[in-house]
Each structure stands twice: as C-alpha cells, then as structure tokens.
Amino acid sequence: MYVNKNLAISDTGFIFNPSTGDSFSTNEVGKFIIDLLKQKKSKEEIISQIVLHFNVDKVNADKDLSDFFAMLKSYQLMLDENE
Amino acid sequence: MSKKSYERPYIQKLNTGTMNKFGTKTEYAPVTAIEGVPVKKLIADYGSPVFVISERQIRKTYHEAVRAFKTRYPKVQFAWSYKTNYLNAVCNIFHQEGSWAEVVSMYEYQKAIQNGVPGKKIIFNGPDKSIEDLSIAVDNESLIHIDHLDELYLLVELLENKKKKARVAIRVNMDTGIYPMWDRFGFNYENGQAWNAINKIMSHPELMELVGLHCHIGTYMLSANAYSVAAWKLSDLAMNIQLRYEKTISYLDLGGGFASANTLKGSYLQGSDIIPSVDDYAEAITSTLLNFGFKQENLPTLILETGRAMIDDAAHLLGSVIAIKRLSDGRRSIVMDFGVNILFTAFWYNHKISPAQEFSHHVEDMVVYGPLCMNIDCVRESVTLPLLNRGDNVVVHRVGAYNMTQWMQFITMRPKVVLIDMDGKTHIIRENETLDTINQMEKMPKHLKSINL
Ligand SMILES: Cc1ncc(COP(=O)(O)O)c(C=O)c1O
C-alpha cells in the first residue's frame, strides 16, 4: 500500500495530486494518516499512532481507517502494493 | 501527553468551478436547543426519537395569519384542520386562539366535541358521512359540507324524519389554472354540477338551509393567484344565489392549501425562497371578495381551513445516529433511529436536517436512511452534513403537519410527543406506544394460545 509521494498537502488539509490535477480537502486526522502513508507506515502502525495521538479507541480507529483507505483508493490516491 | 480530540478521517474531492448545490453553511449549522431547551436534555428526558412542538411558534404563526387577513377583510374565521395534526393539546391551542374545528370523519368530529368545540363551530367535510354521522351533526347544528349527490339524498332522507333543519354548504371543485385539478371532491363549477346541487338544496327550504360555499383547491399551492380565481368562482355562485333566490350566503370557505416553507422533493430551490407569503394569499383572496360587488351587508364571512402552513414550523423531530456506512458506489450513508414510519412527509419533502452538536467545518454528502428493513425507508436521498458519529443527535425541521396523524406503527413503535409551553416548560402530550399498547387490541384464539417449540 502506498500513496503518491508527490502529493502536496497543506497545513489546512488541502491536497493536490500533480499527476492528475485533482484537488481534495481533508481534515486533521485525514492529513495525519496521509503523512504516515507517505512514510510507508503499515496499517497497524498507523492505527497505533492514531490511538496514541487522538482520543479514540482501537476498534473505532480501525473501522474509520478502513473506510478512509477505501476512499483514497476510489480517488486513486492510494494503490495496493501489487498494482 | 494529552490527546487531541478525534474526528473520523475524511477526504473529499474538490470540484473547481461548479457551484455548491447543497447550499450554504447555515444549512448545517448546529441546532442545539429548541425554544431554549437543550436537545440533549429533551432526548435524555423523553427518549430518541421524539417529536417536540413549540406552543409559542403555533401561536405566533396563527397571529401572523390572522393579522394578514383581518387587516384586509372585516369578517374572517379560521377553522383548524384536524387531519393536519389532531393531538388534542395542539387542537386546543388553536381553539384557545379562536379557531373553529374542521373535521372529515366521525372520529375527528368526536375529538372536536370532546375538546369542547360547540357543535355549531364544527365544519364537517369529507366524502364519508353515514346517516348516523349526519344525524349527530344535524342535532349539534354543525356545518355540513356536502360532497356528492348521494350524501345530499341521504341527508334529505334523514331530515324528512327529523324536526330539525340542517345547516349545509356544498364543496365546489373548479379549474383554478392549477394542475392537477382536484375534481374528485365536491361538485364541479365549470360544468354546472355545483349550480345544479345548489338548486336541489334550495328546493328543500323546509329541510335545510344553504349557509355557505366551500372549496379546497389543493395543497402546497405555489400560486396565490389560484386563490383569487377560487374566490371569484365562489363569489359568483353566491351572487347568483342572491339574485335567483334572494338568499344571502353567510360564508365562503376557501379551504386550506397554503404552502409551508418545506422544500418539495425535486425542487431545486428552497421552499422558503419560492412560496407565497401569507400576505400574498390574503391579498389575492380578500381583494377578489371586496371587489366582487357584494353589498356591504351581504359581504360573506371568509373561512379558512389552513393546515400545514399553520403548524409545520412549530414541530421538530429529534433523533439519533444508529450507524454510518459506505454504499457500494462510494456514497456515505447514515442510518437514523427514525424513518418514514414516523416521518411520513419525507415522501414529499426534502426535510432540513441539522446536527445537534458542534462539528468542524468538514461536511460530506450523504444518504439518510431510517431503521426500517425496507428499501423505501429513505429520509433524504442527498444531504450535506458534518461528520456525524453513532449516537450523535440530529434535528429535523418543519414536521408539524401530517406526521403526527399519518405516522404508522410499523416495525417499531411511535415515540412521545412533547410540547414546550410559553414559559419553556415541557409537557408530554402523547405517550410513546409500548408492546402493551399494541397487544391490548389483539385477541388470541384458544387453540393458538400454546406453542411448543
Ligand atoms: C377540506 C380540507 N381543508 C383543509 C385542509 C388542510 O390543507 P392544508 O394542510 O394544505 O392547508 C385539507 C387537507 O387535505 C382538506 O382536505
């Protein structure tokens, strides 16, 4: 799993994908996750980082992360390793 | 290290250049209290979902309507349309304000009587009145609005054996330039049916007195002008009755139908931006009546049976999020603890839904479903809301008309209805149903009493 390394993310959560020209908006937790993805962190690592930094339990963090991944894939911002 | 507050991760594609058709920020600004009572407290005290009605708003809307008409016309009488919301407490707010009762069945009629409305101040509409119903209405001197010839003949038959005269009107249907035309109720104006019915009634002066003429041209009428057409046609009939029979018609009843500020499904524009104001309706009706040419002493009383426009704004439905899902096509969907079972008007309206707590500025487009295991149970096909979580509360706006009468006990039970009075105090005006409420009405044949699984 990886995201396009060239994605530009502003502090306010504005995302620009230079390869397609699309732009997106994300929130604080979304930005946090994308930053970790750019560092090639695994899903498990990301979940523990979220739980460490935010007021949420593991079960909900996991559930929301899976949904977020699905959105990133649907926007073609994230690809599986073998693609 | 103290942790930051969590909001589930969210990402949305930005479409540059296209207008945000889902409206402005104010649309999903949180509504945390109703008439000063916190939504959280209402839900904690009375459960979720719960209907909450504001007495203050009912009276305010009523006063505005009365002012719009009475400043323009000398004789105005409102009659509360029971079917729109016949919770007794709601009816009595209108009756305290001076509204008569407009009913369309013996069930509603009896409710009005039990609420203390004098028989003379009950307007009995509707196509289904039995000979027993008519007999009660005649005894109470209620205003019987005849819907069809069969009813007229039934009434004649009844009155031939009674000592009492009936006070009657006919319901007239007509072309007011509005499509679809409601021609299934009453007698048609254009083809002469109405005049014919009037002549039949006038041929029985010993049995009944024709006191009024009635029409109800449709509901959620977006054209105020349709009411001037209707007022003109009823006036024309009244004038012809005066000329031919020297009989003064004492009232013209223009029915209901004024739009509330809800947004109709399929309408791109917000309801509140396109509906005529009560002043527009009042101007259309009263100027027609005043200019028609009635002699001052023959000027008919104007009766109005305004329903939805009187009550929609006064009620909110509070509910809670059960689950948040993602549909197969990627759309976000949210499941609420209320559905079309109690929010019947979701079939016609895109009800405004507000979150009941503060959120970040991030919002997403979503489908709002109810809890029923039915495909039709969709409250909003597309609405923009903040990032709601399970257990969060929402406020549905303008639900006062037709929901608390057309709701169904289906799969779940109907919730409490709470009234916030003029002092901000809350009162349960209808209890929630329980298993016992429903089971009370069922009977078990002996041979089915025991099962052995
Ligand atoms: C005879 C009659 N009067 C009044 C009303 C109230 O209509 P509205 O809620 O559109 O004002 C109705 C509603 O169907 C009706 O049938």
Q: Are B309 and B60 in contact (CB under 8 A)?
A: no
Task: Please give the pLDDT value at position B121.
Answer: 98
Q: Do B9 and A53 touch (CB under 8 A)?
A: no
| pLDDT (0 to 100) of residue A79 | 75
CB B292 within 8 A of CB B230: no
Confidence (pLDDT) at A22: 84
Measured at the CA of B208, the angle between CA B205 and CA B214, to 5 degrees, comes to 115
How many domains is chain A built from?
A: 1
**What does the pLDDT read at residue A81?**
61
Which among A24, A28, A52 has CB closest to B12? A24
User: In chain B, which residue's Cα lies nearest the Cα of A49?
Assistant: B3
- A-facing residues of B in 7-36 (CB < 8 A) are 7-14, 16
Mean pLDDT of chain B: 94
Residues B34-38 have a mean pLDDT of 97
Could you tell me the CA-to-CA distances from B94 to B66, B232, B242 in Å, in that order? 12, 28, 33
Backbone angles phi, psi at B284, to 5 degrees: -60, -45
Please tell me which residue, B445 or B358, carries the higher pLDDT value.
B445
Q: What are the structural domains, with CATH classification, of chain B?
A: 33-52+313-435 (2.40.37.10), 126-304 (3.20.20.10)
Query: Residue B211: CA atoms inside 13 Å, Cβ hemisphere, count?
Result: 17
List CB contacts (< 8 A) between A78 and chain B: none
Q: pLDDT tens digit string along B215-268?
A: 999 999 999 999 999 999 999 999 999 999 999 999 999 999 999 999 888 777
Q: Which residue has the higher pLDDT, B108 or B376?
A: B108
User: Which CATH number characterizes residue A58's domain?
Assistant: 1.10.10
Q: What share of chain A is helix, strand, coil (3-state, %, to 5)?
A: 45, 20, 35
* 3-state SS assignment for residue B145: strand
Residue B273: predicted pLDDT: 83
**Would the pLDDT of B151 be above 80?**
yes
Q: What angle do CA B172, B178, B184 make, to 5 degrees?
A: 40
Question: Containing domain of residue A38, as a range?
Answer: 2-79
CB pair distance less than 8 Å for B326 and A75? no
Residues A15-20: contacts with CB under 8 Å, at least 24 apart: A15/A77, A15/B11, A17/A77, A20/A76
Q: How far is CA B418 from CA A72, B65, B81, B86, B422, in A?
A: 44, 24, 20, 14, 13
Question: A72-76, B84-88, B136-140, B387-391 — which is least confidently predicted?
Answer: A72-76
Ligand 1 atom at minimum distance from B256 CA: 11
Q: How confident is the model at residue B128 (pLDDT cuts 50, 70, 90)?
A: very high
B411: left (phi over 0), alpha (psi -120 to 50) or beta: left
Contact yes or no for B133/B111 (Cβ under 8 A) = no
Mean pLDDT, to the nearest integer, of B309-315? Answer: 98
Axis crossing angle, helix B131-139 with helix B106-114, rounded to the nearest 10: 30
Mean pLDDT of A29-47: 93
Q: How close A1 comes to chain B (CA, Å)?
A: 18
**B 373-432 near A (Cβ less than 8 A):** 387
Contact present, B270 and B263 (Cβ < 8 Å):
yes
Alpha-carbon span B370 to B430, nearest angstrom:
22
Q: Tell me the three state secondary structure of residue B302.
A: strand
Between A71 and B112, name the one with better pLDDT.
B112
Smallest Cα–Cα separation from B402: which of B307, B263, B276? B307
Evaluate whether A78 touches B28 at the Cβ level (below 8 Å).
no
Closest CA to B340 of B382, B384, B375: B375
- CA–centroid distance, B401 to ligand 1, in Å, is 10
pLDDT digits (tens, 9 = 90+) for B158-213: 999 998 999 999 999 999 988 777 888 999 999 999 999 999 999 999 999 999 99
Type and span of the H or E element at B236: helix B225-245
Q: Is B217 helix (H, G, I), strand (E, B) or coil?
A: coil
Q: How far is A82 from chain B (nearest CA, A)?
A: 23
Q: Which of B312, B320, B301 is nearest to B349 (CA)?
A: B312
Query: What's the pLDDT at B155?
Result: 97
How much is the pLDDT for B26? 54
Interatomic CA distance for residues A29 and B169, integer angstroms: 67
| Alpha-helical runs (H) found in B71-214 | 88-97, 106-114, 131-139, 149-160, 193-202
Tell me the mean pLDDT in the region A1-5: 73
Average pLDDT over residues B301-326: 97
Q: For A54, which of B3, B326, B362 is closest by C-beta distance?
A: B3
Which chain B positions have a beta carbon within 8 Å of A8's beta carbon?
A: none
Residue B194: predicted pLDDT: 97
Q: How confident is the model at residue B21 (pLDDT cuts 50, 70, 90)?
A: very low
Q: What is the dihedral of CA A64, A68, A70, A75, to 10 degrees?
A: 160
Mean pLDDT of B406-422: 96
Whether residue B19 has pLDDT greater than 50:
no
Top pLDDT among B23 and B369 is at B369
Q: Are A47 and A61 in contact (CB under 8 A)?
A: yes
Among the atoms of ligand 1, which is closest to the Cα of residue B125? 1
- Rounded to the nearest 5 percent, the helix, strand and coil shares of chain B are 35, 25, 45
Cα of B110 vs centre of ligand 1, distance in Å, is: 19
Render pLDDT for B392-408 as a digit per residue (tens, 0 to 9).
999 999 999 999 999 99
Contact of B289 with B300, CB cutoff 8 Å = yes
How many angstroms separate the CA atoms of B426 and B420, rounded?
4
Residue B8 CB contacts under 8 Å (≥ 6 apart), including other chains: A29, A60, A64, A67, A68, B387, B389
Per-residue pLDDT, averaged over B19-41, amounts to 77
Residue from the list B7, B326, B330 with its beta carbon closest to the beta carbon of A27: B7
Q: Any idea which residue has 């069969």 for tokens?
A: B150
pLDDT band at B20 (very low <50, low <70, confident <90, very high): very low
Q: Please, are residues B278 and B66 in contact by the beta-carbon 8 Å criterion?
A: no
The residue length of chain A stands at: 83
* Residues 6+ positions from B438 with CB-CB distance below 8 Å: B409, B413
Q: Which amino acid is at B440?
A: Q
Looking at residue B16, what is its pLDDT? 54
Distance from C-alpha of B417 to C-alpha of B431, rounded to nearest angstrom: 7
Positive or negative torsion for Cα B296, B301, B306, B310: positive
Chain A residues closer than 8 Å to B362 by CB? 25, 27
CA dist., res. B290 & res. B95, Å (int): 27
Q: At what angle do helices A58-74 and A28-38 cross, to 10 degrees?
A: 70
H-only helix segments in B292-377: 308-311
